Structures are given as structure tokens and as C-alpha cells.
Amino acid sequence: MLFVDGGVCAPKGFLASGIGCGIRKAGKKDLALIVSQKRCAAAGVYTKNLVKGAPIIVTQEHIKNGYARAVIVNSGNANTCNDNGIDIAEGMCELVEKFTGVSSSDVVVGSTGVIGQKLSLEPISCGMPALVMGLGKNSEDAATAIMTTDTVKKEVAVKFELGGKTVKMGAIAKGSGMIHPDMATMLVFVTTDAAINPEMLQKALEFSIQDSFNMISVDRDTSTNDTMVVLANGMAENQEIISEGKDFDAFKAALYELSLDLSRRIAKDGEGATKLLECVVTGAKSAEDARKIAKSVICSPLLKCAMFGSDANWGRVLCAIGYAGADVDVTKVAVGFKSEAGEIRVCENGGGIEFSEEKAKEVLSCGDIIINATLGDGNATATAFGCDLTYDYVKINGDYRS
């Protein structure tokens, strides 16, 4: 598998566009469109928050038959907790049909932004001619148009082999705040020219998120609009994947690697963040215990603050392990920190050891920090992704609607 350029337009048969239609401040792109030349197998996963945006309800209905062909997404307004939300989401899909000919029932719709604020179809309708005219190899524009507090666009693409055919897979994502494990944790739209039926596509998607998107957290807030949808149009002309086997393993491995790459990007771009944190847990009794502990550590506000200050306050790691709800013998735990500046062990057998504070400061002053937690209880491992907690997080969220 190789990483390639092109984002969602890397696979055959997909075009994208992104424009500013006036939902957000003037000059900001806020409307994205992805269209496939052919109808696609479709699969999706969504937030487990009981409060769900209207776009999720509409998307679930549209792809319950396992197929779709286009995606329309707006930023700046979540279209959530509105009495006319379903009508607006359906209206967006109908606009896609009007301007592209793609059946509205084959359209995936997404929204992100402020919750509880009415969304008007007028700016979207007015922007549709330009949006459709812009359809081309414009993944970057689409990736930019779905951003809210993101500071960088997030797109990626890979190519790999299936049965002697070259297959490509691309994605765009948004996510910076309101990020917490429990799929989804953001908006992600994936395209591929692989031939795979809807059942196996859904199975691959659910596999890919378990140790990627479900293992990231910025602020412990699970959003109302989190959605990940994969579209597969089959234009690579590989033999259709209809069951498990070598080709299915290759497909789900590619989707996992793509998901893992985007997970790191989202965690690193956490609101106000200056550092990417990875907690690597080894020696757990079970994968479930390892995941619980890794998540608990990267979710700890105190640990996140310590990482912002480059403070080797390892006691906060032990504390987070202790309340994770996992089966662990804390007297066996060892903790270390690692970065491009080196590695330092700060705790063994659940207790402190002598270490150089100066060296620890040097290690923790880098942009990417690995927190190693060795449990000594078994063979299971897990990694979770997060970020530090800074002054800017409060500033960003203190005036989010302003």
C-alpha cells in the first residue's frame, strides 16, 4: 500500500467541489460536494449521542439499501435540534438532484457547526450552480469547505492491489473539537473505486474504526453530528468482494491505515493544541482493558495540562490508569515518555524512580509525545490518540458563536 495524492478524487470516477455560499463568514468555504460517475455501495457509522443531527437521520434512511452516489456537506451550522431539520437536510439532497441529476435518495448529507441554530436552504440553493460547475479533481476545496475550528485541511489517499487490479481509496475529514471516542468522532467521507458489496463494506468500516477513530479524544465531548461514510463505485474492475478472504483483508487493511492516518491528524489538530499525544499500552490482560486504559490516559485533563507544560507529572498517568475501569495490577505498572528528543522512564512497579527532570523536559517539549504504559499483566496492546489542553482551547470555545 502506498500513500498518493488526490484525496477523495484519487479513485476513478469521483469528482469534488467546495465553495463559500455564505453560511459562514464571507470568504470562508462552507459547502462541499462529492459525486461518483457510477452508483456506489455505501456504508456508514454514526455518533452514539442520543441527540443526533437531522443529516444523520436522513443519511441513514438514504443508505439503508446499501447504495449512494453523492455527498453534500455544509459547515457553519450543524442543523441539529431544529424543528425543520429533516426538511432542510432532505432539501439539500433535492438540490443535488436538481443540479446534477443524481437521485436525492442516493445522496449522503452532512452538516457541522453551531447546534440549535436554524439553517436556511437559500444560500445553499444560490451556491449550487457554482458548486456543481466546480466539480473536478478538487478534493482540497471540498476538504476545506467542511472545516470549522480546524486549522488544517485533512485529506489522504492510498493505492493498493486487489486481484491484480490497482485500487485507490481517498478521504476528507474534519475534526478539531467535540472529539471523543465512540464512533464517529467527526465527519469523514471516504471514496474508493474498489468493487465490494455493501455488507462487506460495512464490515470493513466497522473493523477500521475500532483502533483508529474510536481511539481518539480531544475534549471528551461526543458530537451530535459525527458521521463516517464510505462509497465504493467498483470502477477499478477488481472481482467484487462478497466474502472474507485475501482481497477483503487487503481492503480492510487499507481502510484501517487511511483511518489511522486521519485519526492522528484530527488529534494533532485539537482545538488550541500544541502537541499530539499517543498513549501506547502494552501488557494488558485483554484488548478491552488496553483500550480502556489508553483512552483514560489521553482523556485526563490533568495529564493533558501537564503535557502542555512539558511537566513529567507521571502520577497523573497512574491516576488515569487507576480509574479506567480495567482489570490491572497497579503495582506492576511502568511509565515512560518518548519523543524525537529521546526516551525516559519515570515509573516502575507502580512507583517513582529517579530521573533527570531536565531530560524529561526536553523529551516533553517536542510536538509529538508517546506515553508508554507497560502493565505486565498479559499480552494485549492498544494505542489512543489525543492532544494537550491549552489556554487557547478555552478561548476558542468561550466565543464559538461570535
Residue 184: cis peptide before it, omega within 30 degrees of 0: yes
pLDDT in tens, 24-78: 987 899 999 999 999 999 999 998 888 899 999 999 999 999 999 999 999 999 9
> Which element (helix H / strand E) includes 186?
none
Q: Is 284 exposed, middle or buried (0-12, 13-18, 19+ CB in 10 A)?
A: buried
Nearest to 128 by CA among 81, 154, 75, 92: 92
Answer yes or no: do 280 and 257 share one domain. no
Answer yes or no: do 256 and 280 share one domain. no
pLDDT band at 146 (very low <50, low <70, confident <90, very high): very high
Question: Helix H segments across 221-299?
Answer: 246-268, 287-299
Answer yes or no: do 291 and 244 share one domain. no
Answer yes or no: do 292 and 255 share one domain. no
Answer yes or no: do 247 and 394 share one domain. no
Side chain identity at residue 21, one-letter code: C
Return the exposure string of 117-131: e unless at least 16 CB atoms fall within 10 Å of the residue's CB, then b: eebebebbbebbeeb
Side chain identity at residue 308, one-letter code: F
The domain that holds 221 is classified in CATH as 3.60.70.12
Residues with a catalytic annotation lie at 185
Q: How far apart (Å, rounded) are the C-alpha atoms in residues 335 and 99?
A: 57
Question: 67-77 and 31-46: which strand pairing?
Answer: antiparallel
Q: What domain count does the chain have?
A: 2
Q: Which one of 245, 268, 291 terminates a domain?
A: 268
Q: Which one of 268, 291, 311 terminates a domain?
A: 268
The whole-number pLDDT of residue 397 equals 77
The domain that holds 301 is classified in CATH as 3.10.20.340
Answer yes or no: do 249 and 160 share one domain. yes
Answer yes or no: do 260 and 284 share one domain. no
Enter the pTM of the model. 0.91
pLDDT band at 184 (very low <50, low <70, confident <90, very high): very low
Answer yes or no: do 262 and 236 share one domain. yes
Answer yes or no: do 241 and 371 share one domain. no
Query: What mean pLDDT is predicted for residues 103-110?
Result: 98
Q: Which residues contact 347 (CB under 8 A, 6 or more apart)?
A: 314, 317, 318, 333, 334, 335, 336, 353
% of the chain at pLDDT higher than 90 = 85
Q: How many residues does the chain have?
A: 402
Query: What mean pLDDT is predicted for residues 90-118?
Result: 96
Q: Which one of 268, 296, 325 terminates a domain?
A: 268
Answer yes or no: do 132 and 229 share one domain. yes
**Average pLDDT over the chain, rounded to an integer:** 94
Answer yes or no: do 285 and 263 share one domain. no
The whole-number pLDDT of residue 182 equals 59
The whole-number pLDDT of residue 179 equals 59
Answer yes or no: do 264 and 190 share one domain. yes
Given a cut of 90, whether residue 149 has pLDDT beyond it is no
Domain that residue 114 falls in: 2-268
Given a cut of 50, whether residue 308 has pLDDT beyond it is yes
